[in-house]
Structure 1
Amino acid sequence: MEGEAAASGYSHAERLRVVHGVLLCVLLAAIDQTVVLPAIPQMAETLHGAAHLSWVVSAYLLASTATTPIYGKLSDQFGRVKVLVPCLLGFLLASIVCAMAQSVGVLLLGRALQGLGGGALLAVSQSAVADVVPPRERGRYQAWFASMWALASGAGPVVGGYLAQHYSWRVIFWANLPLGAAALVLCLRGLRGLPIAGQRGKLDLTGALLLMGSSLMMLVALSLGGVNVPWLSWPEASLVLLALGGFWLFRTQQRLTAAPLLPGGLLKRLRTIIAVAWLNTAAMFASIFMLPLLLQRFFHESPASAGVHLVPYLLSGALGAYAAGQTTRRTGWVRPVLIGGLILSSSSFLVMAVLPLWSPVPVSALLGFGLGILNPTTLIAAQSLAQPQELGIATGMLLLLRAMGGAFGATLAGAALNGSGHTVISGYRFGFGFCLLLTLAGLLIMALSPEIRLRGSTAKS
């Protein structure tokens, strides 16, 4: 393919310049999902309101997730740097709004605006790497992103808690400015001159609004269901029905429009990988929700100690991503790698479901390794099934569906524990058993799917 030939023409040093240019963007977008968690009580005290402060996290996540396909498509049409730089600047301006907020409403507005910029930081960054690295080589660089996610997941709450305790929660947002300035310089240096594979033209605004609105309603439904709103209730059913109706309208509109947001046949090519990614992310987020609670409730650990004992889980995820990248690079195979990751994950969840009180830390390390294999490999597979002019939108759609899976998994895990009580072990058995069913479903899908061979140079540079 023409795009793969162009990607093969970049040297390792040139690829690293692009990777370094976007790594800080990924760190910013990822760490801002969790860094505010320990500071929420201080925010409530300062701003004299706690009723809606849970949306400090939700507003960011919803806005960043729902916009990823839109930014991916825009970057296909107009180039990565022309989309990423304005969104990065918008992210930094929104950080200033958050830092200077004098009311809960202004803080939530700032977080939503941050999310609008954060969606581009994730989708466009991953697409930029695919521009310069052929499919078979991408695992070599995806381990960097997995490590950055592990760093953000582990360091976010720690850094946020330290800054809130010793300085002020406002410092959390001011700290984005030097990081963002460095990311801006590196992006301009690394991404300038990347090819524009897509065709310039009008954005399918109707399709974009339908997709974004439907995604937001589904994410809100998944986030509230079973926790804030009963699953079997009219408010929950209304949100789900509105979201499904929106998706149906979006599908119909895409068939009728001359220049659709989603190129014809793209979702059909990606459906197997998207299904596996959705199932994997649902299981991952459910386990992340339950593991710290299990350590605190039944092993009587403090929140800080439970956080420390999650480090093996996070580090093994980065090691799994590295191992998967090296394997796909050397063999060009995707299916055996995904099957291996699903077997490891399923085995870990089986142990946790049957023996949840049996040494969860080493089991969680094995689980992290299996999940770490799956995350970057599903992304590489999705990008390899897309045409060069579809890389951005394919990446954005995978990230969107992943997020929906994560919201579903975390919500169902919360519902399992709330239904049985956080101090009753049967809730954890059910939760981990549910995760096992998800990974087994992914394993069945991959066992019945054809191989995906990654093309591209395997030469060492």
Structure 2
Amino acid sequence: MSSLPRKQLILTMAGVMLAMFLSSLDQTVVGTAMPRIISDLGGFAHYTWITTAYIITSAVTIPITGKLIDMFGRKPFYIGGLVIFVLASVLCGLAASMLQIIIFRGIQGIGAGVMMAIAFTVIGDLFPPAERGKYQGYMSSMFGLSSIIGPPLGGFITDAFSWHWVFFINVPLGALVIILLLLFFPHIKPDNLKHKVDYPGLATLVLCVVPAMLALSWGGAEYPWRSPEIIGLFIFAAAMLMLFIFIESRSPEPIIPLSLFKNGIVTMSEVVIFITGMGMFGGIIFIPLFFQGVMGASAAQSGSFLTPMMLGIVFGGFISGQLLARAGGHYRLQGTVGIAIMAFGLFLLSRMTGETSSGTAVFNIVVTGFGLGITMPVYVIAIQNAVPYQMLGVATSSGAFVRSLGGSVGLAVFGSIMNNRFGVELATRVPDAVKTAIGPEQLRALANNPEAMFNPEAQARLQSLIEGLGPQGDTLARQTITALRQSLEAAMSEVFAIAVIVVLVGLIVSLFVKEIPLRKQYVMTNLPPEPREK
């Protein structure tokens, strides 16, 4: 355990856990409010971008931060990340258009990326691998607590005040965390050597990740997949990836050391993290949309449906952490079991309809959360256990990076699937009389921004428009609203079903992750030897 005085250790952990609480609270609160945000600001086709912008910038920031904190220490970057996060929260709350909120969420993601990269690295600084499981479990409990509080809180704030306040609530808590870490967070720096930042590697990493994510998000939504814009972005991203690998192979202090991936445990663990990240973010982010759009729940009600999932995550994470600490650290078995449970939960979600009972929905969500909770701490600990202390920051952040990258890919792919399937279904389900009356342009506008599913005022306007078509207007209005909900139901079912397939691929890969005993003390220099696979 750390040699810090007990009081400082407790207050340091309190600050780190509160920072994790702040970051995850923001994600869960905003997730519940997103349907109302797109209803207010418009742009259903850009639904995922409020989250995607956040994930892209945090994904790019995480590996850069991981390297910089290994070079220059943890504390200044941690405080800086918190300040960026809080200021960006204020800007998000003041946003007056979809473009503004997407930009400000991107800035907020930079601060969150810094915080995420450091949080789990600090656990590695303070505790040896054999003890990290239970402390990772405590961190997961903070994530779970904020996730339990966040959805109903976000729903309440959105319904009682406005969605703007789901961002403003970050300010007082963020200020408290900044003060706490300024006073008690230790100055942790792995060595006292002078370092040189790999600026070419940093630039090419950004120029690789961002265009790739833009292509994945715009493909099938803003532009056809075979359009010059999408193909050009993919080609540019691939060129930057090759240039990045070339630069990193020759840099004395690369942003992401390529030698890290010569370790089989690190490589296979990160493949699993990437794939499950796709399924996790790509599937779960759409749950509030399903409950509000398909089942007709309010923002507060849809938030309350997420609470069981977070309870499952907390319980699964706690059990996983304790087993890793006490049962010999059989992380491969735990990870595989967790992924299997998560896949089963997503399968159950894919079977839900607008007629699904609340009890069944809660059960399905709990199963998904429990599997996710078991899986989350496993592969981070496996990676930390396989690298020397001097690479702790970059190794830990690389795991967080590929999870965020997988999440970005999942959101982009599943968002495109949802938009395309929704448009196709709506075109076939809307009554012919309505299609003839409103015309193809207004039908496309309805598909791109079906706010009538989320906003009672918009629903009343749509009903008034259709009811004016004649004696059958009232019936046609009801049929159109039903068509909207059934179209979204079909789109959501397809999204969850594909998420199952993605997660099952991760399960297969998890079987090939090598397992070595968790170390009971720090190894400050060389990589640990890899014994024979169990």
2:486 corresponds to? 423
Match of 2:511 among 429, 447, 459: 447
The Cα offsets for residues 304-361 of structure 1, whole Å up to 9 and x where unpaired, read as 4333222211110111111110111011221111111122223334445568769342
1:436 corresponds to? 500
Q: Give the aligned length.
A: 450
* Whole-Å separation in 2 of the counterparts to 1:107 and 1:361: 31
The Cα offsets for residues 81-120 of structure 1, whole Å up to 9 and x where unpaired, read as 0211223233334445555667877666544433322211
* Whole-Å separation in 1 of the counterparts to 2:201 and 2:181: 29
Q: Which amino acid aligns with 1:286?
A: G
Q: Which amino acid aligns with 2:277?
A: T
Residue 279 (str. 1) matches residue 343 (str. 2): no
Report the Cα offset of residue 389 of structure 1: 1.5
2:259 corresponds to? 265
CA contact under 8 A between 1:383 and 1:395: conserved in structure 2?
yes
TM-aligned CA distance change 1:348 to 1:258, over 3 Å: same
* Whole-Å separation in 1 of the counterparts to 2:153 and 2:179: 24
> Unaligned stretches of 5+ in structure 1?
1-6
1:344 corresponds to? 341
TM-aligned CA distance change 1:409 to 1:12, over 3 Å: farther
1:134 corresponds to? 128
Which protein is bigger by CA-based radius of gyration?
2
Bigger mean CA offset, 376-385 vs 203-212: 376-385
2:527 corresponds to? none
TM-aligned CA distance change 1:110 to 1:432, over 3 Å: closer
* Whole-Å separation in 2 of the counterparts to 1:34 and 1:435: 20
TM alignment of 1:157-236, pairs within 5 A: 157-163=151-157, 166-167=160-161, 171-197=165-191, 199-236=193-230
Q: Which amino acid aligns with 1:215?
A: V
TM-aligned CA distance change 1:244 to 1:34, over 3 Å: farther
2:465 corresponds to? none
* Whole-Å separation in 1 of the counterparts to 2:42 and 2:369: 37
TM-aligned CA distance change 1:97 to 1:429, over 3 Å: closer
The Cα offsets for residues 219-252 of structure 1, whole Å up to 9 and x where unpaired, read as 2233333444443433222222222221111011
* Whole-Å separation in 2 of the counterparts to 1:313 and 1:168: 25
TM-aligned CA distance change 1:346 to 1:385, over 3 Å: same
* Whole-Å separation in 2 of the counterparts to 1:366 and 1:438: 17
* Whole-Å separation in 1 of the counterparts to 2:45 and 2:284: 24
TM alignment of 1:15-414, pairs within 5 A: 15-36=9-30, 38=33, 57-98=51-92, 110-163=104-157, 166-167=160-161, 171-197=165-191, 199-269=193-263, 270-295=266-291, 301-330=297-326, 331-352=328-349, 359-414=360-415
* Whole-Å separation in 1 of the counterparts to 2:65 and 2:418: 36
> Unaligned stretches of 5+ in structure 2?
426-484, 522-534
* Whole-Å separation in 1 of the counterparts to 2:406 and 2:25: 20
CA contact under 8 A between 1:198 and 1:388: conserved in structure 2?
no
Normalising by structure 1, what TM-score?
0.85
The Cα offsets for residues 170-210 of structure 1, whole Å up to 9 and x where unpaired, read as 54444333212211122134422434348431111110111
TM-aligned CA distance change 1:349 to 1:98, over 3 Å: closer
Q: Which amino acid aligns with 1:377?
A: V
TM-aligned CA distance change 1:413 to 1:173, over 3 Å: closer
Work out the percentage of aligned pairs sharing the same amino acid: 30
Q: Which amino acid aligns with 1:18?
A: T
Report the Cα offset of residue 372 of structure 1: 0.9
* Whole-Å separation in 2 of the counterparts to 1:395 and 1:378: 10
Q: Which amino acid aligns with 2:376?
A: N
Q: Which amino acid aligns with 2:519?
A: R
CA contact under 8 A between 1:10 and 1:133: conserved in structure 2?
no
* Whole-Å separation in 2 of the counterparts to 1:40 and 1:298: 12
CA contact under 8 A between 2:72 and 2:189: conserved in structure 1?
no
Normalising by structure 2, what TM-score?
0.74
The Cα offsets for residues 59-95 of structure 1, whole Å up to 9 and x where unpaired, read as 4333222111111111111111021122323333444
Bigger mean CA offset, 314-323 vs 220-229: 220-229
CA contact under 8 A between 2:50 and 2:101: conserved in structure 1?
yes
SS of 2:486's equivalent in the other structure is: coil
CA contact under 8 A between 1:316 and 1:365: conserved in structure 2?
yes
* Whole-Å separation in 2 of the counterparts to 1:428 and 1:106: 27
TM-aligned CA distance change 1:415 to 1:88, over 3 Å: closer
* Whole-Å separation in 2 of the counterparts to 1:426 and 1:114: 33
* Whole-Å separation in 2 of the counterparts to 1:62 and 1:327: 33
* Whole-Å separation in 1 of the counterparts to 2:269 and 2:73: 26
Kindly report the root-mean-square deviation, in angstroms, between the aligned alpha carbons of the 2 structures: 3.4
